[in-house]
Amino acid sequence: MSAATSLFTPFPPFSPLPKTTSKFSTTFRLRLPSPITTIRHRKHSPFPTFSTLPGGGNNSAGGGGNNDNGKGKGGSGGGDENAGDENRKEAMIVLAEAGRSMETLPTDLADAIQAGKVPGSVIDRFLGLEKSDLMRWLMQFDGFKERLLADDLFFAKVFIECGVGIFTKTAAEYERRRENFFKELEIVFADVVMAIIADFMLVYLPAPTVSLQPSLAASAGVISKFFHGCPDNAFQVALHGTSYSLLQRLGAVMRNGAKLFAVGTTSSLVGTAATNALINAKKAVDKSSVDEIGNVPILSTSVAYGVYMAISSNLRYQVLAGVIEQRVLEPLLHQHKFLLSTICFAIRTGNTYLGSLLWVDYARLVGIQKPQEEENPVLVS
């Protein structure tokens, strides 16, 4: 031991150590930006950001909801702050890479970035949608903007639903009426036109959204605060830093059900009134048709229509948009938009036709429609 010590004593073995340590430290500091590389990778893959979260009250963002979000409240404060900081950093990196500043964004989106509500994937999608003149115009409307940020194919799905509805509803009417189809053509026409309007609402209301709404005032009521914190789709995947409880997801079903009941009842009032006007006009011109077709009962048909939309249509479209499309198809096919659109087209076509058949059966079950030649109310998806 002493010999080894005497051999090393003449040399300055410890003098290079500070340099070695300094080089190691410098190398370590140069590797610190590696998390940013990870963030950039997440920015270019928006769908895994949504699809990897299990949703509900337990998502991989941890810690419950963002308290500034007004949605999915709850959870630990530390987890909210960490998730908000990560979202803010991701969003700022996306803006920097795109050469954009916060001042060039819509006010509500800029506020959401500052509050840490939205991750970089949402900003990346917004910048992509802005390249289209049509999408840029649609995003001037808050409702469309929140839905397009959650699903860039939302407008295509609206077009699919309304376009397919014309054919599927007519086919369903013919399937149920058969030899009476042309005798009741004016009723069929009124039914289809009114149902197309309802189709739009059935796509719009249950669609998943990226909430950019500000928090409610402290003086707001308990019920208002509760429904403000519910998602727009009961099954939608929560954004990073946000979570929804089971009660909030049930609240989404109740809230959309109430809206669809109002939409269905109102549209049916208009549609059945128009149908009766057409029937009466036909009777005035053709006296022989007086006993062929009776007027559609307005009140009972309208209420039955609203109930059907609030229950059957509401649940089917919530599952379609939140489970089948967002949780299953989009994570698998987000890089193949044409294939994704084609499959959505096929599924929505089947759902629309199924809804039309179910409505006619339901209308007969509750007694507002009789088989064959008597009254026939509105079709809905």
Average pLDDT (9-13) is 46
**What pLDDT is stored for residue 376 in this prediction?**
42
Q: Which DSSP symbol is given to 216?
A: P
- Between 277 and 206, residue with greater pLDDT: 206
Q: Which of 97, 118, 140 is the last residue of a domain?
A: 140
Work out the pLDDT band at 80, boundaries 50, 70, 90: low
User: Is a pLDDT exceeding 50 seen at residue 9?
Assistant: no
- Between 373 and 114, residue with greater pLDDT: 114
Q: Which of 91, 117, 140 is the last residue of a domain?
A: 140
Q: How many CB atoms lie within 10 A of CB 252?
A: 23
C-alpha to C-alpha distance for 70 and 50, rounded to whole angstroms: 19
User: What is the average pLDDT value for the chain, to the nearest integer?
Assistant: 77
In a domain, 262, yes or no: yes
**What pLDDT is stored for residue 293 in this prediction?**
63
In a domain, 348, yes or no: yes
In a domain, 374, yes or no: no
Residues 163, 101 share a domain: no
Q: How many CB atoms lie within 10 A of CB 321?
A: 29
Average pLDDT (211-228) is 87
- Between 165 and 292, residue with greater pLDDT: 165
Average pLDDT (116-129) is 94
C-alpha to C-alpha distance for 199 and 159, rounded to whole angstroms: 10
C-alpha to C-alpha distance for 140 and 152, rounded to whole angstroms: 15
Q: Residue 378, Cα to own-chain centre: how many angstroms?
A: 26
Residues 247, 109 share a domain: no
Tokens encoding 50: 């949504």
Residue pair 356/172 in contact (Cβ under 8 Å)? The answer is yes
User: Is a pLDDT exceeding 90 seen at residue 96?
Assistant: yes
Work out the pLDDT band at 48, boundaries 50, 70, 90: very low
pLDDT per residue over 16-41, tens digit each? 444 444 444 444 343 434 343 334 44
Residues 263, 117 share a domain: no
Model pTM score: 0.71
Residues 169, 122 share a domain: no
In a domain, 65, yes or no: no
- Between 205 and 72, residue with greater pLDDT: 205
Residues 159, 202 share a domain: yes
C-alpha to C-alpha distance for 70 and 216, rounded to whole angstroms: 7
C-alpha to C-alpha distance for 27 and 20, rounded to whole angstroms: 11
Residues 281, 204 share a domain: yes
**What pLDDT is stored for residue 289 in this prediction?**
60
Residues 357, 303 share a domain: yes
Work out the pLDDT band at 313, boundaries 50, 70, 90: very high
**What pLDDT is stored for residue 286 in this prediction?**
72
By residue range, what is the domain housing residue 99?
82-140
Question: Is residue 56 classed as helix, strand or coil in its secondary structure?
Answer: coil
C-alpha to C-alpha distance for 181 and 174, rounded to whole angstroms: 6
Question: Is residue 269 classed as helix, strand or coil in its secondary structure?
Answer: helix
In a domain, 128, yes or no: yes
Top-ranked range on mean pLDDT: pick from 105-114, 211-220, 275-284: 105-114
Tokens encoding 281: 């006009």
Residues 93, 174 share a domain: no
In a domain, 4, yes or no: no
In a domain, 217, yes or no: yes
- Residue 205: closest CA among 123, 108, 304, 322: 322
How many domains does the structure of the chain reveal?
2
Residues 269, 132 share a domain: no
User: Is a pLDDT exceeding 90 seen at residue 217?
Assistant: no
pLDDT per residue over 318-377, tens digit each? 999 999 999 999 999 989 999 999 999 999 988 877 887 898 889 888 888 766 544 444
pLDDT per residue over 162-179, tens digit each? 888 778 778 777 877 777
Work out the pLDDT band at 205, boundaries 50, 70, 90: very high
- Between 33 and 272, residue with greater pLDDT: 272
- Between 139 and 214, residue with greater pLDDT: 139
Give buried/exposed letters for 3-15 (b at 16+ CB in 10 A, else e).
Answer: eeeeeeeeeeeee
Tokens encoding 170: 């007519």
State the Rg of the chain over Cα: 29
**What pLDDT is stored for residue 290 in this prediction?**
57
Q: Which of 115, 140, 165 is the last residue of a domain?
A: 140
- CB contact set of 280 (below 8 Å; sequence gap of 6+): 295
Tokens encoding 381: 């998806």
- The position carrying tokens 């002493």 is 2
Residues 178, 298 share a domain: yes
229 phi, psi to nearest 5 deg: -85, -5
Residues 171, 133 share a domain: no
Tokens encoding 360: 């006619």
Residues 103, 229 share a domain: no
Q: How many CB atoms lie within 10 A of CB 44?
A: 10
**What pLDDT is stored for residue 87 in this prediction?**
93
- The position carrying tokens 């895994």 is 48
